[in-house]
A and B are shown apart, each in its own frame.
Chain A
Amino acid sequence: MKYSYFPGCCVKGLGRSYEESLLPVMQRLGAEVTELNDWNCCGATAYISVEERKAAVLAARNLAIAEKTGPQDLMTPCSACYLVLNKTKHNIADSPEINAVVQRALGNAHLAYKGNVKVRHPLDILVHDVGLDVIKEKVVRPLKGLKVAPYYGCQVVRPYATFDDAWNPTTMDRLLATLGAEVIPYPLKTKCCGGSLTGTVPEAGLRLAYILLKEAVRRGADVIAVVCPLCQLNLDGYHDQIARRWGAERIPTVYFTQLMGLAFGMPPEQIGLNRNLIPMKPLQSELTRV
């Protein structure tokens, strides 16, 4: 199991606890992960909606590097990067026009892209390549009694439902159950977290985040598990503003890889659990006691 790794900007900054938990977990499971040399911003969802062709060039450069250096399976943990890279792949394959622009631009940088790279999300890799039985073997501290709301967000399953169902994905549910956690029914699992609206139109964006928090609490969750740094930021970072508008709904939001790290017995601060704004501390202490 060898993967190229495209971290994306988020996990090097605000979302660094994602990488801090993802990489040790992958290593523990025997997956060989090599960070892409000289990668650049994927363009995020903003660029592609303003300038489709130039955005394609930006993202395609990463695909071209991965194709050149290998491995051809490119892991990217951020949902936005995952979507943008996938969309770029589709655009290049479907539109001769975009393909021409991309190849010309890449050619100037002595690069080319033939379409061989597979863009993979860690959730997909962990469940389908590594396998739940292998993960189960590594669990030393089962998350017994921990009620988790599995929250996938929108971008990993829509519009390209490549590894799970578009409306009712279950890969993370099964993965968390393998760790021993109690996965609560959370039908809001693919609703929008507010995305970048939390910054630009907070009234609308924060309301979406609030609904997710409120319903996770109402349904008895101790913690929300996410697969995307922007989801994590929106659900973890705005509690004060949300409380001012609609009332307090304090519940921690962590990366699913952090829960894996805990179950694998890794020290909380090594997997970035100290970085949460709404801490998972009380829970952690219970878990470490077991």
Chain B
Amino acid sequence: MNTNQKNGEIRIGFYICHCGHNIAGVVDCAAVAQYIAKLPGVVVSRDYKYMCSDPGQELIQQDIREHQLNRVVVAACSPLLHEHTFREAVAAGGLNPFYFQMVNIREHDAWVHTDRAEATGKAKSLARAAVSRVRFHRALETTRVPINPDVLVVGGGIAGIHTALTVANSGKKVFLVERDPSIGGHMAKFDKTFPTLDCAACILTPKMSAVRSHENITLWTYSEVVKVEGYVGNYKVTVKRKPRYVNEELCAGCLECITACVFKEGKYPDEFNVGLSKRKPIYIPFAQAVPPVVVIDPERCLQVRTGKCKKTCLEACADRHAIDFSQKEELVEIKVGNIIVATGFKLFDVKRMPQYGYGRFPNVITAIELERLVNSSGPTSGEIVLRDGRPPKSVGIVLCVGSRDVKTNRWCSRTCCMHSMKLAQLVREHTDADVTVFYMDIRAPGKGYEEFYDKSLKEGIQFVRGRVAEVADWGMSPEEEGMMVIRVEDTLAGFVRRIPVDMVVLAAGMEPQADAPEVRRMFNMSCGTEGWFLEKHPKLAPVSTFTDGVFIAGCCQGPKDIPDSVAQAGAAAAEAMALIDKGYIEQEPNTAYIAEADCSGCKSCLPLCPYTAITFDEAKQKAQINGALCKGCGTCVAACPSGSISQNLFEDAQIFSEIAGVMAEGDEVEAPGVPAG
């Protein structure tokens, strides 16, 4: 590669971008170019409307050739956006791409200032700093690391299922890890899906079975990821497999053991029916569970707890010997190249809003409870009934419970409007009850959603606009006595209404999982302030995270419905496959390195590295940095007491000259020297 560095002469090309009006509207770009042109070493200095355009990039390449440039500085937008673009352009011009420095005068200057003279002055300072720094740049090479083609998917809801199947169908091996005894997640509990009202089980269970039978998928239910080490392409993951006391290979799912259990009746709240029915200590989560095997609840089973039980289940299982009380928790280590996190959400705890009476009034229920009531395999075999068995005569559905509320959660949970309208239609279908939906705004922006809202209106469902103040058990008139009274300010009619009902359904919003902070740390992801996992870019990298090789899909990233979850799941699978098929990972050379001679072996740096990239060579008594693991955070560089750690692209000479450049007064343009040390 031509370094254009004959006789050590530094020849800098400077380019300032107008970015249309974005920059030029506030910064006098021509003035900056004229100013920079006078600095020592600057051979070319230009302003141009759009530097990132093809002609803009060609300008750089042409100048490199014609003027033998060996350094390039572009003042434009954020390096996050276009540093890569310009490095490529510099490389295409025949220079090492790291002989380049970018100055952000858009986000850091034009967008945050209004005074033209001052903004122009600031642009000059920033540009002067970059010009001063770029002289100390060195040629660097990106490195390539091979990628492990196996993928880990965490979470077996609809997002995890879809992403696992997509990756597996492309011929890659997938490990699907699910915390619960069965995959299926929230969707498995639903009766129908909006807006088509097709049966949730009918569309989900074939995919669940496909996961189980897929030759490329290893399914580990009742298991949790406990440790993640390594880096993109080469992750080492430890999975805890909880004992289900049943051998998955041997169990035929005949359920004889459940019948035979010493508990004659179900005694404990059934998780799948959200507590509306009871299960025994040995149970199958639901009829279509995958894997279709039973599980023993260690906190309830007499044998596991006390070791004193007649073990009638063992007798029932007879020759199969599927029940195995000797099972222990196991830790399994796997190696994968990419990880897709699809850990989902939890529902808002409606007890946090005591004014709605959940837990106090028996016929205040949650939307997911109604979902189980209306499901033919649910606790009432599909009958919508009050706690005393009577069918309801009037049902009120309360929206935005724990959503769009400064006191609980500010965000919109996105699905409750449609979910509630679906339930309203199902109530109308199954009973003679009047249904009133209490909403703040109906949000039905998906395909076919507005039409579904229309259908709800036509079917005679009442809509009252306003946030419900309380569900009261005190009446003001004879018809209110014995009823629950929903008090709400009808914001369309402009007065407070009291609507007596005998069933209240609370559409609880979505929240990040309770252990989202721990999961976030484990996979080295970021969270927004609300606790949802943060995507790399809200528009252009919606399933990537700031950790390469870790992707997110479904509701762990934020509330969304089934179509959106599936779309994200497919996107995450595609992103992972793109990395796998490339075959290698290209690494930024902004890594730290140790001048071994200077390292005193004090080990200060070792615990500081968040990426476990630093190890200690006991033989040499020196610290060592694994360049493939280093993410260039610079923590060790700053901490090293002997100053023996440096970082590519952030070397002392570069930083100090940049500082000197930005601090220089007015037209003081001498090339700053490099301070000692």
Contacts and interface: CB of A to CB of B under 8 A. Distances in A.
Nearest to B361: A187
B473 A187 contact: yes
B468 to A, nearest CB: 14
A211 B474 contact: yes
A211 B476 contact: yes
Contacts of B353: 167
A103 to B, nearest CB: 30
B354 A167 contact: yes
A101 interface: no
Interface string A200-225: 00000000000100110010000000
B355 A167 contact: yes
A217 to B, nearest CB: 11
Contacts of A165: 354
Between B354, B360, B473, B474, the greatest number of chain A beta carbons within 10 A of the residue's beta carbon is seen for B474
Interface in B454-486: 472-474, 476
A215 B355 contact: no
Contact of B360 (A187, A188, A211, A214): A187
A165 B394 CA distance: 32
Nearest to B355: A167
A215 B474 contact: yes
A168 interface: yes
B474 A188 contact: yes
Interface string B19-61: 0000000000000000000000000000000000000000000
Nearest to A214: B474
Nearest to B473: A187
B354 A218 contact: no
A218 B474 contact: yes
B350 to A, nearest CB: 13
Contacts of A187: 354, 357, 360, 472-473
B4 to A, nearest CB: 57
A168 B355 CA distance: 9
Interface string B288-324: 0000000000000000000000000000000000000
A220 to B, nearest CB: 14
A283 to B, nearest CB: 24
Nearest to A188: B474
Nearest to A215: B474
Contacts of B354: 165, 167-168, 187
Chief secondary structure at chain B's binding surface: loop
Contacts of A211: 474, 476
A196 B516 CA distance: 47
A53 B483 CA distance: 46
Interface string A72-103: 00000000000000000000000000000000
A9 to B, nearest CB: 32
Nearest to B474: A215
Contacts of A214: 474
Nearest to A218: B474
A277 to B, nearest CB: 24
B400 to A, nearest CB: 17
Nearest to B407: A166
Contacts of A168: 354
A117 B154 CA distance: 51
A218 B481 CA distance: 12
Contacts of A167: 353-355
A189 to B, nearest CB: 10
Contacts of B355: 167
Contacts of A215: 474
A214 B481 CA distance: 13
Interface string B332-371: 0000000000000000000001110100100000000000
Give the residue among A165, A187, A214 with the most B Cβ atoms within 10 A. Answer: A187
A188 B354 CA distance: 11
A167 B354 CA distance: 7
A211 B473 CA distance: 11
A218 B357 CA distance: 19
A218 B474 CA distance: 9
Nearest to B356: A167
Nearest to B476: A211
A167 B476 CA distance: 22
Contacts of B473: 187
Contacts of B357: 187
Interface in B142-163: none
Contacts of A218: 474
A188 B357 CA distance: 12
A215 B476 CA distance: 10
A207 to B, nearest CB: 9
A187 B353 CA distance: 13
Contacts of B476: 211
Interface in A157-193: 165, 167-168, 187-188
A194 to B, nearest CB: 15
B406 to A, nearest CB: 11
A94 to B, nearest CB: 16
A44 to B, nearest CB: 25
B470 to A, nearest CB: 9
A140 to B, nearest CB: 35
A188 B355 CA distance: 9
A188 B471 CA distance: 11
Nearest to A246: B476
B193 to A, nearest CB: 35
A117 B476 CA distance: 44
16 contacts: A165-B354, A167-B353, A167-B354, A167-B355, A168-B354, A187-B354, A187-B357, A187-B360, A187-B472, A187-B473, A188-B474, A211-B474, A211-B476, A214-B474, A215-B474, A218-B474
Given A167-B353, A187-B472, A211-B474, 12 more contacts: A165-B354, A167-B354, A167-B355, A168-B354, A187-B354, A187-B360, A187-B473, A188-B474, A211-B476, A214-B474, A215-B474, A218-B474
The 3 A-B residue pairs with the shortest CB-CB distance in the complex, in nearest-first order: A167-B354, A168-B354, A215-B474
